[in-house]
């Protein structure tokens, strides 16, 4: 009879233990669900701290997270991270750092008597927080409320909870990246709209000249700047340039530059003065939009006078070629890129134009495109291409250039492409 009672008692105890264990597992699972449903990292860390102290009956604790290679306190409940870092064992080991470095939980239930914190700390658990097997921080629980040391069960319980929290942190980081990408996509879309609005109307009637253009932005937002400003049926301006950055700031800067140039052009300012004034405006705006610089060629064509007056502001020198004589040279007069020195004074040059003269303005997307062997197309090849096609109309020429570049870059992948702009002006006489 006594054996039967003892057995029943044992069974009851086991059932109670099983029920308690099941209840605890349910609690941890519920905590995990709560943590993984959060998308704010600070909220996740705060909840993890509160749950950890409660589930193992610890008095105080903190969470240290890696920041620029160092463990920094992110959450502190009753004890600061600087005090936690003083909890050390043999060989003066920093327990929190050791748990982080080894990605293994460290438990210490006997603090050395000579420790700086032995008067207030009697036991500690340091559990590494890891993502994809890499530690990102450490959870620290200090002192059992009953005065005893932390058990194996406490260690296992905290590790389970920290695993849930690590998943929650990863989810939150992923969501943060998704939102950041969405914001960037929205900005790029806006910049693309701005840039599209800046493209010139090429359907103009010019007496004595014809124009062909190629404009291929590499992605949603290009860094190239292209404009055509008709002044009369015998006067017009062509501008080809490159903005050093992309996105909304670059698009806004391009808008400002376009407005200044167009305004000064219509007011009849001379070419060098227009570029000098534009440079001053850009230098002022660089404070708001750092690391944005612009190189461009401003070319004013006066067909009645038979001249082209240009300034090259740090841009790739255009080619001028006469399809009858075969003579070819570069247009280099001007100065440095726009946006560097506010007081810089630009120069211009006026060249005489004759029938058959053709001017090619272009950006580095033409000369620096790369083939599958990582070789650039290059300025020399472009010069040969341009000089050999005197029989082509301007638009036919730039269309042929696109075909040549497409063939050259075939198989090289798209990631290396820069924006591509080329404009040909031919004097018909």
∠ CA 427-428-429, nearest 5°, is 100
Looking at residue 367, its pLDDT comes to: 94
Return the DSSP state at 376: B
Q: What tens-digit pLDDT sequence spans the chain (429 residues)? A: 556 665 566 555 555 455 445 545 555 555 556 656 666 888 888 888 888 898 899 999 999 999 888 899 888 888 887 888 888 766 677 888 999 999 999 998 888 776 777 778 888 999 999 888 889 999 999 999 988 899 999 999 899 888 888 888 888 878 788 888 887 777 777 767 776 777 777 777 788 899 999 988 776 555 788 999 999 989 999 999 998 877 677 777 888 888 899 999 999 899 999 999 999 988 887 666 677 889 999 999 999 999 999 999 999 999 999 888 888 999 999 999 998 899 999 999 999 999 999 999 999 999 999 998 889 999 999 999 999 998 899 999 999 999 999 999 887 765 555 789 999 999 986
Total domains in the chain come to: 2
In 3D space, the residue among 112, 113, 142, 146 whose CA is nearest the CA of residue 127 turns out to be 142
**168 CB-near residues (< 8 Å, 6+ apart):** 35, 36, 37, 38, 44, 48
Looking at residue 262, its pLDDT comes to: 94
Looking at residue 184, its pLDDT comes to: 73
Looking at residue 37, its pLDDT comes to: 64
Give the H/E segment covering residue 307.
Answer: strand 307-313
Is position 168 within any domain? yes
Rounded CA gap, 128 and 125, in Å? Answer: 10
Is position 100 within any domain? yes
**Where does a domain end: 123, 149, 172?**
172
Rounded CA gap, 408 and 370, in Å? Answer: 8
Is the distance from CB of 228 to CB of 222 less than 8 angstroms?
Answer: no
Say whether both 144 and 256 belong to one domain: no
Looking at residue 256, its pLDDT comes to: 83
Say whether both 13 and 136 belong to one domain: yes
Is the distance from CB of 138 to CB of 127 less than 8 angstroms?
Answer: yes
Query: Residue 277 belongs to what domain range?
Result: 187-427
Tell me the H-state helices in 79-151.
Answer: 81-84, 95-102
Say whether both 306 and 423 belong to one domain: yes
Tell me the CA distances in angstroms from 230 to 122, 206, 299, 300, 387, one per residue in order: 84, 9, 12, 10, 27
Say whether both 244 and 146 belong to one domain: no
Residue 238: give its domain's CATH number.
3.60.40.10
Q: Which 3 state secondary structure label does DSSP give 70?
A: strand
Say whether both 161 and 224 belong to one domain: no
Is position 239 within any domain? yes
End-to-end CA distance of the chain: 125
Say whether both 167 and 228 belong to one domain: no
Looking at residue 287, its pLDDT comes to: 65
Rounded CA gap, 367 and 405, in Å? Answer: 9
Is the distance from CB of 93 to CB of 195 less than 8 angstroms?
Answer: no
pTM: 0.62
Residue 146: give its domain's CATH number.
3.30.450.40
Tokens 């099941």 belong to: 22
Looking at residue 32, its pLDDT comes to: 56
Looking at residue 201, its pLDDT comes to: 75
Is position 181 within any domain? no
Q: Is 90 exposed, middle or buried (0-12, 13-18, 19+ CB in 10 A)?
A: exposed
Find how far residue 48's CA is from the centre of its chain: 32
Say whether both 319 and 401 belong to one domain: yes
In 3D space, the residue among 401, 325, 324 whose CA is nearest the CA of residue 360 turns out to be 401
């Amino acid at each position: 009879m006594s054996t039967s009672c003892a057995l029943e008692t044992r069974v009851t105890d086991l059932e109670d233990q099983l029920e308690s264990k099941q209840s605890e597992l349910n609690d941890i699972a519920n905590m995990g669900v709560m943590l993984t449903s959060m998308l704010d990292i600070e909220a996740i860390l705060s909840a993890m701290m509160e749950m950890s102290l409660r589930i193992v009956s610890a008095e105080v604790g903190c969470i240290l997270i890696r920041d620029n290679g160092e463990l920094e306190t992110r959450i502190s409940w009753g004890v600061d991270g600087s005090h936690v870092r003083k909890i050390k064992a043999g060989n003066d080991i920093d327990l929190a750092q050791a748990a982080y470095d080894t990605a293994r939980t460290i438990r210490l239930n006997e603090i050395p008597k000579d420790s700086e914190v032995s008067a207030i700390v009697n036991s500690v658990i340091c559990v590494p927080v890891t993502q994809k097997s890499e530690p990102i921080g450490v959870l620290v629980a200090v002192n059992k409320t009953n005065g005893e040391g932390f058990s194996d069960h406490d260690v296992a319980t905290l590790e389970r909870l920290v695993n849930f929290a690590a998943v929650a942190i990863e989810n939150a980081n992923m969501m943060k990246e998704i939102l950041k990408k969405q914001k960037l996509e929205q900005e790029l879309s806006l910049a693309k709209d701005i840039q599209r609005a800046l493209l010139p109307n090429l359907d103009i009637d010019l007496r004595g000249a014809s124009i062909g253009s190629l404009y291929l932005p590499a992605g949603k937002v290009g860094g190239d700047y292209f404009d055509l400003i008709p002044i009369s049926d015998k006067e017009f301006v062509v501008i080809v340039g490159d903005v050093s950055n992309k996105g909304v700031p670059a698009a806004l800067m391009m808008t400002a530059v376009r407005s200044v140039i167009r305004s000064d052009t219509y007011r009849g300012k001379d070419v060098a003065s227009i570029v000098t004034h534009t440079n001053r405006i850009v230098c002022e705006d660089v404070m708001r939009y750092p690391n944005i610089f612009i190189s461009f060629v401003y070319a004013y064509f006066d067909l009645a006078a038979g001249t082209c007056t240009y300034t090259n502001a740090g841009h790739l020198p255009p080619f001028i070629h006469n399809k009858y004589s075969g003579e070819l040279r570069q247009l280099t007069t001007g100065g440095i890129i726009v946006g560097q020195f506010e007081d810089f004074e630009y120069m211009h040059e006026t060249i005489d134009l004759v029938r058959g003269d053709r001017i090619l303005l272009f950006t580095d997307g033409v000369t620096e495109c790369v083939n599958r062997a990582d070789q650039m197309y290059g300025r020399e090849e472009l010069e040969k291409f341009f000089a050999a096609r005197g029989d082509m109309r301007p638009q036919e020429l730039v269309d042929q250039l696109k075909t040549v570049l497409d063939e050259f870059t075939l198989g090289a992948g798209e990631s290396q492409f820069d924006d591509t702009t080329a404009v040909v002006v031919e004097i018909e006489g």
